[in-house]
Homo-oligomer: A and B are copies of this chain.
Amino acid sequence: MVFTQRLREVQIKQNSLLCIGLDVDAERIPQHLQSLANPVLEFNRQIVEATSDLVCAYKPNLAFYEAMGERGLSVLRETLKLIPKSVLTIGDGKRGDIGNTAERYAKSLFNDFGFDSVTVNPYMGFDSIEPFLSDPEKGVFILALTSNSGSKDFQRLKVGTKPLYEKVVHTAKKWDKDHNIGLVVGATHPKELQRLRKIVPDMPILIPGIGKQGGDLKSAIRYGCDKHGQLAIINASRSIIYASSGKDFANAARAEAKKMVEEMKMYIG
């Protein structure tokens, strides 16, 4: 089944558009876990157990695991094994390199780690993205308009009459022969999200930037969903996984996730 369809089915079954970003910082793990052999893995285990019925996806950002070196990659690998098959995984590495190198990244993320989908950077063009596209079941989220302040530096530059990020979206649509391409559009840009959804009515959109970064959940849902109230993936990381820094962190994460899911349902209507 092609990735976009897989996402639809997961979102229906789980009745959720929520994605939890597993961006775990070893220093922010609750005190009572610090003495364990593998605090980050235990933290992830409890977060996943407490929330996996509430989400459509988990998104580990690779930087947080690479920052722990070899051990971090093992923690990532073990974390992925804890995630039920009913939920999708997004390897958030924003990779991009020339064709023969991009192949290595694709092999590592899809075959070795077994991610269902990844994020990629469009700057280097088609041959940097093509190796990720070969399996239609695996999803590829291309950065379009990112949630951070630096998104204005290049993404918003006008190419002819349209901003660069919109050109990226039109190009991504052209490349999407197998219905396995998605976009990344920050919740911090609601108006642009609304316009982009019209350009790609059937494409998954991964929407980070809710919470700490200031994005608004209501607009993310209203403007990011397709006509069936699907295909928007609302990511929240720190606001959920660090909802409490105490022994109740997993319950607190669940409560925060649940609150977001309920709020989303209200906005979908």
Contact = CB atoms under 8 A, between A and B. Distances in A.
Contact of A69 (B61, B108, B122, B128): B108
A158 B159 contact: yes
A70 to B, nearest CB: 4
Interface residues of A, number: 54
Scoring A71, A74, A97 by chain B CB atoms within 10 A of each residue's CB, the highest score goes to A97
Nearest to A126: B150
Interface stretch (A81-89, A99-107, A190-198): A99-107
Contacts of A148: 98-99, 124-125, 127-128
B104 A63 contact: yes
A70 B70 CA distance: 5
Contacts of A124: 94, 121, 143, 146, 148, 150-151, 155
Interface of A: 23, 61, 63-64, 66-67, 69-71, 73-74, 77, 94-99, 101-102, 104-105, 107-108, 112, 121-129, 143, 146-155, 157-160, 164, 167-168, 171, 213
